[in-house]
Amino acid sequence: MVSTRGHLRDFSEPDLTPTKPTPSHARAGRWAHTPSNLAIGWLLLSLPLVTWDTGYVLLRPHTMPGGKLQWPLYIPYELYGRVDYIYGWKAFNENNGFTSAQGMLNILETLMYVYYLYILFAFGKQSTKAGRGAPKPSTVGFLGQQCAVEGQAGALAVLVGYSAAVMTVSKTVLYWLNEYYSGFANIGHNSLRDLIVLWILPNGAWLVFPSYMIYLTGSEIVEGLTIAAGTATSSADGRSLRKSE
C-alpha cells in the first residue's frame, strides 16, 4: 500500500465554515437574469397586437374590406390600409411580398417572446441578485418582489430575449428603410399630422421598447461573459500554480 503521509502538506485544509460557501457554489450564484417590469409589460401588451396584425396580413384578402373575416376584428385595418398602402389593396393587387414576408417573421419573433416569458414565469424565483432589469427594492414586479432566473434557464432566457428584441428592431428598421428607398411610395400621400399620429408614433414603439430590451439583456450577457472569463482565468492561474509547485 502506498503511503500518503508524505503528501498531506501539499493540500490545504478545506474551510467548512457554514457561512462561507465553497468556490463552486460562489461561481454558480454570481449571475442571474433579472427581468425588467417595463419589458415584461411591453411584451404583454405588444404580443396580442402583433398576433392581431399577423392574422390580418396572412389571411388577406379575407380580412380586407369586403372580406368574410373583416368584421368585427379587422375593421380598423380599413383605415390603416389607406394610411399605409403596404397593408392595403395596392400592395395586395401588385403581389408585393414584403407584407407577408414580414408577417411570417412576426410568427417566429412572437414564439421567441412567448418562450422567453414562459421561462420567466416557470423558473423565476425571489432573489437578492440584481441585474440590469431589477426593480427597485420597494417595487413589486410581475414575478413578485425582485425575482430572477438563475443558472442555465436564466442564460437561455436572456439569450432568447436578446435575440428576439434584435429581430424586432431589425425588422422595424427594414420596414422604415423600405419606405425611404422607395420614395415613400406607400405613405407619402398622408398629411404630416396623419403620418405622425397614425404611422410614426405607433410604429416607433416597436423601436423604442425592444431597443431598451436589447440594452438590458445585452448588458447582462456581457456581465455573464465577463464573470465566466474571470473564473476561467482564475482556474487557469490555479492550475499553473499547482504545476509549478
pLDDT value of residue 228: 82
- 202-244 pLDDT, tens digit per residue, is 999 999 999 999 999 999 999 888 888 876 555 555 555 455 5
Which of 42, 39, 216, 32 is CA-nearest to residue 124?
Answer: 32
Q: Which residues contact 135 (CB under 8 A, 6 or more apart)?
A: 36, 37, 141, 146
Question: Using an 8 Å Cβ cutoff, are 121 and 143 in contact?
Answer: yes
Helical (H) or strand (E) element with 126: strand 125-126
Give the Cα-Cα-Cα angle 167, 157, 132 (nearest 5 degrees). Answer: 90
pLDDT value of residue 1: 44
Helical (H) or strand (E) element with 87: none
Cα dihedral across residues 235, 236, 240, 241: positive or negative = negative
pLDDT value of residue 13: 53
Specify the DSSP class assigned to residue 245: -
Query: What cell was used for 207?
Result: 423601436
Write the burial class of residue 136 (CB in 10 Å: 0-12 exposed, 13-18 middle, 19+ buried): exposed
Q: Which strands sit side by side in the sheet containing 147-150, from one edge to the other?
A: 32-33, 147-150, 125-126
- 28-70 pLDDT, tens digit per residue, is 446 889 889 999 999 999 999 999 999 999 999 999 999 999 9
Q: Please, where are the H alpha helices in 60-200?
A: 76-83, 89-93, 98-123, 151-181, 192-195
Domain-by-domain residue ranges, the chain? 32-225
Collapse the DSSP code of 150 into the 3-class scheme (helix H, G, I; strand E, B; otherwise coil) and give the result.
Answer: strand
Q: How many CB atoms lie within 10 A of CB 168?
A: 25
pLDDT value of residue 136: 46
